[in-house]
Amino acid sequence: MACLKEDPILRSNDIKEDSEETEPKDKVREEGGVREMVLPAGNSIHRSGSRPQLDLSGAAIQGNNFEERHPTILLPNQSDDISHLALDIGGSLIKLVYFSRHEDRSIDDKRKRSIKERLGVTNGNRRSYPILGGRLHFVKFETSKINECLDFINSKQLHRGGMDSRLWLSEAPPSDDVIIKATGGGAHKFADLFKERLGVSIDKEDEMDCLVAGANFLLKAIRHEAFTHMEGHKEFVQIDHNDLFPYLLVNIGSGVSMIKVDGDGKFQRVSGTNVGGGTYWGLGRLLTKCKSFDDLLELSQRGDNRTIDMLVGDIYGGMDYSKIGLSASTIASSFGKTISENKELEDYRPEDISLSLLRMISYNIGQISYLNALRFGLKRIFFGGFFIRGHAYTMDTISFAVQFWSNGDAQAMFLRHEGFLGALGAFMSYEKHGLDDLMVHQLVERFPMGAPYIGGRIHGPPLGDLNEKAMVQVVGLDFLVFSDISWMEKFVQKGTEITAPVPMAPSGTTGLGGFEVPSSKGDTLRSDASALNIGVLHLVPTLEVFPLLADPKMYEPNTIDLADPSELEYWFTVLSEHLPDLVDKAVASEGGTDDAKRRGDAFARAFSAHLARLMEEPAAYGKLGLANLLELREECLREFHFVDAYRSIKQRENEASLAVLPDLLMEIDSMNEETRLLTLIEGVLAANIFDWGSRACVDLYHKGTIIEIYRMSRKKMQRPWRVDDFDIFEERMLGSEDKKPRPHKRALLFVDNSGADVILGMLPLARELLRRGTEVVLVANSLPALNDVTAMELPDIVAEAAKHCDILRRAAEAGGLLVDAMVNIQDGSKDSLSSVPLMVVENGCGSPCIDLRQVSSELAAAAKEADLIILEGMGRALHTNFNARFKCDALKLAMVKNQRLAEKLIKGNIYDCVCRYEPAP
């Protein structure tokens, strides 16, 4: 962190507090540092004496609320400052955990309130204390540079509640009794310095209490926190919360503490050693002249300890000592070879010294840890502390020692947030912090990389002029001269106005990393001390586990296994090749301004850097699945303030599709029951071809209009499909000659793309279910992802569709979707008839895929009465959830637009169709 003041790019990458905010810092400053906020109901939020109280009585908005987008909120009766951070100040490093609030982006309009009332969704699951949603950030400093830590805290006003507190307190004078939590020896040593520099008092928390509290929280609340590491291979371990205790926690800081943990708040320190991280750093500094701990670790990666350590083979003439199980490469004596050599210190390579020292200390810590685990009959050993800091060789060495001495009976496990156990435990010591009962499904980890736009410089040329793009030529079709045309032909006529932009050539758009396929460093072991390895933990109390999963513990959303190196390389290539087109769309969505071009280039470089990091080590950010990878791309877009890259494309495709919907519905209504159901399913499959996330689909867009693509897609609807369970589904829906089926009570339709996909595919299917007396809930993304339709966009689409369909109109009114809409019915109103409701809920995510372990509370509430799930599209039904099992009937529909997926998943080809029906167990 020595570069904190000198280099804005490194500072922003390493320690910036919030890259997901909706506006860059400099813009916030221009607007007076004011942000939009929603205050909790009531006059005050209770806080304990150890954490000051937030008094909202007399709260008022300053200025003209109608003219100012972000008015200042004054709290005239607020007397206490609010602390949002905690520290672990060790002998070598300062670890800091701090909290920032989520901006409330929810829109509480009449439609949402109506649907929430119908679904029985309340705010009862929201806490009445401060953390209603926010982010936990993790930062470290060298203790010798404590002034940099103090500058950082002061610059962000973390000791007074963060940047937001300036909105609440406005011009109120600072309080003299601000208290922050801290643990570690430095909490005592530097208490006066904190008082002098920041005017705050240190509330000292017990170090062991904090370590255990932090470890217990991480192991319970983060799904892939623990992992094993052997011979360079990282494998994540899912911990059963009911079988967590007892375990041995080995915290390797300057020294080593070994703690037997029997439960929450139940532990005892059973052993320790003075040979720890401080030993390695101290001896290493003396012997190698390294200036930092990370430099010393970096040296070890290039070392060869055989020049210094005496091995068993050195004693036995290159032979093993097999009788007692020692190989020739086993270290007999660390640094032992130097005894018999007539060399001075300067004759040895610093790299070799560093590695020998690292192995000596790591092996001994591993051995002592196992002996203590054996002493208490413990099979599970967790290692933490900033000595490890994700360093591959360190973990391998400790793991080898535990495995060797236990004969494979015990395993060494490591924690991704290893160095922050104490700081996190100190943060949790604030009463009513909101983390006590936080569940794993309420945490989302994200990995920002916003320095190039937020605080740093842009390297490389900007994006080229978007106006120079070539456009696809559209040729009229001869049969359009007929006056009596079908709905499809009318769609073609309307669609000739829609062209697909050709992506710019990658040349001239690449920044650092460009759009090349990331290359791996091979088998080089590296330090994982990068700030990217530990993301920002987003706390979202409204996320829940989807209640219709047959077995949530066994559920795995990802169908594709990215642990396969060839699979990983393939998908990284796909994302890299798609990147220029995505940048083009993103910049165009913001008007092609110079600022948008700058951000587009920054996004391209940032996402390329993420891909390069993950190609080098796929498990760097946790267990990696395709859903995680695609979500990372969408989060990176939002980080650079591209709200909806496909906004204009979606609008054009929606207009074209809505124009022909009435003709399609008339055609469908003229069919008998059996033909109608098959036509509807065919329509969903055909319309699902419109997917800008598919390379094959993008190639099609460049050859013609969306209408030509749709016609081609309908021609391919020849049964049997590659996965064809339609007959089973038909029997459930229509019954047999002597048995009339019971209609489903409520169906959840997980919709996919905008335009033809949702309007000509899923809406007619929803209409058929409504006609049969089934309540329908359209489930859409909370945030934009590619050209997927969002829950915010769907009500307007339904309102437009309802102008031409009485079934949709009455259902939408019953479901609260038309509260604010003026609907002009063309096919005759039947207001006296009651109708089952049509509703729209958000799924809680902003990705082409969906992880049903984390869905919105609205969706969870809607699912409780549902007995049919329809998952549509590659992302939701193939890339994820193809193997998911549910408590109710499930129909999975998708057109396969990826050749590799087709070959691996269904043993078929591109454009094959999947209609998979799974009755309730």
Average of per-residue pLDDT values in the chain: 77
Task: Tell me how far apart the alpha carbons of residues 274 and 67 are, in angstroms, rounded to a whole number.
Answer: 63
Per-residue confidence (pLDDT) for residue 711, from 0 to 100: 65
Weakly modelled stretches of the chain, pLDDT under 50: 1-82, 104-105, 124-131, 163-173, 451-531, 822-823, 825-833
Q: Are residues 564 and 656 in the same domain?
A: no
Task: Say which CATH number the domain at 741 has.
Answer: 3.40.50.10880
Q: Which token pair is 655?
A: 């207009």
Q: Does any domain span residue 505? A: no
Kind and range of the H or E run holding 747? strand 746-750
Per-residue confidence (pLDDT) for residue 41, from 0 to 100: 36
Residue among 826, 498, 476, 472 nearest 656 (CA): 498
Q: What is the pLDDT of residues 745-798, one digit of tens each?
A: 999 999 999 998 999 999 999 999 999 999 999 999 999 999 999 999 999 999
Q: What is the pLDDT of residues 591-627, one digit of tens each?
A: 999 989 988 988 998 898 888 888 888 888 888 899 9
Q: Does any domain span residue 650? A: yes
Q: Does any domain span residue 366? A: yes
How many Cβ atoms from other residues are within 10 Å of residue 688's Cβ?
Answer: 28
Q: What is the pLDDT of residues 227-284, one digit of tens each?
A: 999 988 889 998 888 889 999 999 998 899 999 999 999 999 999 999 999 999 999 9
Residues in the chain: 921
Q: Does any domain span residue 153? A: yes
| Burial status of residue 871 (CB atoms within 10 A of its CB: 0-12, 13-18, 19 or more) | buried
Per-residue confidence (pLDDT) for residue 115, from 0 to 100: 72
Task: Tell me how far apart the alpha carbons of residues 159 and 199 are, in angstroms, rounded to a whole number.
Answer: 9
Q: Are residues 838 and 887 in the same domain?
A: yes
Q: Are residues 732 and 783 in the same domain?
A: yes
Q: Which token pair is 72?
A: 């200042």
> What is the domain extent for residue 774?
646-819+834-918
Q: Which token pair is 548?
A: 């219709």
Per-residue confidence (pLDDT) for residue 324, from 0 to 100: 74
Q: Does any domain span residue 205? A: yes
Q: Which token pair is 183?
A: 């643990």
Task: Tell me how far apart the alpha carbons of residues 853 and 890 are, in angstroms, rounded to a whole number.
Answer: 17
Q: What is the pLDDT of residues 379-419, one digit of tens each?
A: 899 998 878 878 888 999 999 999 988 988 898 999 998 88
Q: Are residues 631 and 730 in the same domain?
A: no
Boundary of a domain, candidates 594, 624, 640: 640
Per-residue confidence (pLDDT) for residue 304, from 0 to 100: 92
Boundary of a domain, candidates 359, 388, 415: 415
Q: Which token pair is 459?
A: 């390297």
Q: Are residues 559 and 662 in the same domain?
A: no
Q: Which token pair is 172?
A: 């109120």
Task: Say which CATH number the domain at 384 has.
Answer: 3.30.420.40
Q: Structural domain tally of the chain?
A: 4
Per-residue confidence (pLDDT) for residue 668, from 0 to 100: 93
Beta strand 775-780 with 746-750 is parallel
Q: Are residues 152 and 271 in the same domain?
A: no
Q: pTM for this one? A: 0.79
Residue among 389, 390, 388, 410 nearest 400 (CA): 410
Q: Are residues 747 and 789 in the same domain?
A: yes
Q: Are residues 601 and 726 in the same domain?
A: no
Q: Does any domain span residue 759? A: yes
Q: Does any domain span residue 521? A: no
Q: Are residues 98 and 138 in the same domain?
A: yes
